[in-house]
Amino acid sequence: MSRTSRSFRIAATATIAALGMFATACGGDGGSTDTKSDGKPVTIEYWTWTLGAESTAEAFNKTHKDIQVEFSEIPSGTEGYSKLANAVKAGNAPDVATIEYQMVPEFASQGNLVDLTEYAGETVKSKFPESVQSLVTFGGRTWTVPYDVAPQLYYYRTDLFKKYGIEVPKTWDEFRTAAAKVKKQDKNARLASMPKSDPALLAALSWQAGGKWFATEGDAWKPAVNDAATKKVAAYWDGLIEDDLVQSFTGYSPEETKARTSGDTLSFLGASWSAGGMKTAMPDLSGKWAVAPMPNWGTAASGSYGGSSYGVLKGSEHAEAAAEFIEWLTTNKAGVEARLADLESPSSALPANPEMREVAAARFDTSYLNGQDLYTLASEQVDTIVPGWTWGPNQVDVYTAVQDAAAKSGFTGGVDAGQEKAESGIKERGLKLAE
């Protein structure tokens, strides 16, 4: 990961100048000394959608007398973030929540996060690679604590690839050729599905191609959601859909899962975390799936498809206790093991803390992938993540615009709409837009 560290650090330094709101809008008023009365433990609320979260909270509660965690499941994606933001406004936000990296600048700039520098700054500095630190630290302040990194990975059915006589595609040209070969042999089967409802996947693919949806010039933002690299990606997938070479099921829908289970979809685009839910969603296909690096544009490369951290929400009365729980979640062997304890619905996220990767690998049942070493492959792909990507200050709105427009006019229309929303949103938030 060392080769990308400098680029991430430069991007983060420029980002704080452009945000321009941290000093005033994000006072980090945790507002608590975490004192106990009558010998009762401090109780903190924990909201997330991640696999293994409930078992993690239970394990923490069994081993900690002074702090107890109440877990609540919330939706993933924009719905979940809206729920969190609304809870902050209403004054009933949880103490701890999962914040994906693309949302850290937006949540911090809106004043939704407690400044964790005092409680977790040293932990982040000492326990995580520099390239990951820069995703959660802006302007010398630590806003969240990393949990996982998510380089893209390609999952495929080994039995069906053999049936149709296709090799695992290493490039996107090979991917299209393989897609045409599958369709020619079976009118009902397709190589993969590209959902129009998952702007995070489109962002990761654009990132892999060298796109940079946001950049900064001094204290101004310069969005480029429809830059040349992204347009290339959008046109590629629009072409595959138009030629009926891939499906376009709604992401994470029953229809999508049914197509994979039935063999109508031979592969899918994911990340290390994708493997966790496969055993639950497709239990009868154990041993028939394998994983490989994502196809690329001619040079080994990856974008980051997700990746998460933990933050303390504004209004928390127990920031210190919340930070202690977060540290246990991210850097303690017992915390990582607990997240993988649910064998029916295990997490396969790749820990950002390198020391925890061996722990996670030892706990994850690899039999579903026929014994393949998922964690070693994912760790190798971290080093191929293209440097220089910056997330924007209105990411949820941009994602919504991309998704809505893509549903009507394809991915090319989606990224154009995303660019328009990025520009208007920056102005509406009182931030500078680069000329």
Three-state DSSP class for residue 380: helix
| Residue 341, pLDDT score | 77
Where are the alpha helices (H) located in 186-318, listed in sequence order? Answer: 199-208, 228-242, 254-262, 274-281
Task: Note the pLDDT of residue 239.
Answer: 98
- CATH number for the domain that contains residue 65: 3.40.190.10
30: in domain: yes
- The three-class DSSP label of residue 116 is coil
- Rounded alpha-carbon distances, angstroms, from residue 83 to 28, 73, 75, 98: 20, 11, 9, 12
Q: Nearest CA to 293 among 275, 323, 309, 270?
A: 270
Residues 255 and 398 reside in one and the same domain? yes
Q: How far is CA 173 from CA 89, 219, 265, in A?
A: 48, 40, 19
pLDDT at 352: 93
pTM of the model: 0.85
Q: Whole-angstrom Cα distance, residue 273 to residue 345?
A: 12
Radius of gyration over alpha carbons of the chain, in Å?
A: 21
According to the model, what pLDDT value does residue 31 have?
45
Residue pair 199/404 in contact by the 8 Å Cβ criterion: no
Residues 133 and 157 in one domain: no
CA distance 190 to 127: 43
d(CA 29, CA 7): 31
Q: Which residue has the tokens 């799936």?
A: 289
Q: How far apart are CA 347 and CA 340, in angstroms?
A: 5
For residue 240, is it within any domain?
Answer: yes
pLDDT of residue 279: 85
Is 105 a member of any domain? yes
Distance of CA 178 to the CA centre of its chain: 28
According to DSSP, the residues that pair with 67 across neighbouring strands are 42
Q: What is the pLDDT of residue 32?
A: 45
Which pLDDT score, from 0 to 100, does residue 36 have? 53
- Domain presence at residue 86: yes
Pull the structure tokens for residue 359.
């722990």
- Residue 244: exposed, middle, or buried by beta-carbon count in 10 A (0-12, 13-18, 19+)? exposed
Cα–Cα distance measured from residue 247 to residue 256, given in angstroms and rounded to the nearest whole number: 9
Residue 384 lies inside a defined structural domain of this protein: no
pLDDT, averaged per 10 consecutive residues of the chain (435 residues), comes to 34 48 44 56 96 92 97 92 96 97 90 96 91 80 94 97 98 98 98 97 97 90 97 98 98 96 98 90 96 97 94 97 97 91 75 92 88 94 86 91 97 98 95 91
Q: Which domain holds residue 418?
A: 152-303+394-433
* Confidence at residue 6, expressed as pLDDT on a 0 to 100 scale: 35
pLDDT in tens, 192-226: 999 999 999 999 999 999 999 998 888 899 999 99
Do 126 and 170 reside in the same domain of the chain?
A: no
293 and 343 share one domain: no
Q: Which structure tokens are listed for 175? A: 């991917």
Q: Is residue 172 part of a domain?
A: yes
Task: Examine residue 93 and state whether it is found in any structural domain, yes or no.
Answer: yes
- Is the domain of 336 the same as that of 251? no
* The pLDDT value given to residue 396: 86
Per DSSP, the three-state class of 211 is coil
pLDDT attached to residue 155: 98
Q: Are 56 and 200 in a shared domain?
A: no
CB 324 within 8 A of CB 336: no
Note whether 194 and 67 are same-domain residues. no
Residues 273 and 421 reside in one and the same domain:
yes
Token pair recorded at residue 191: 């190589």
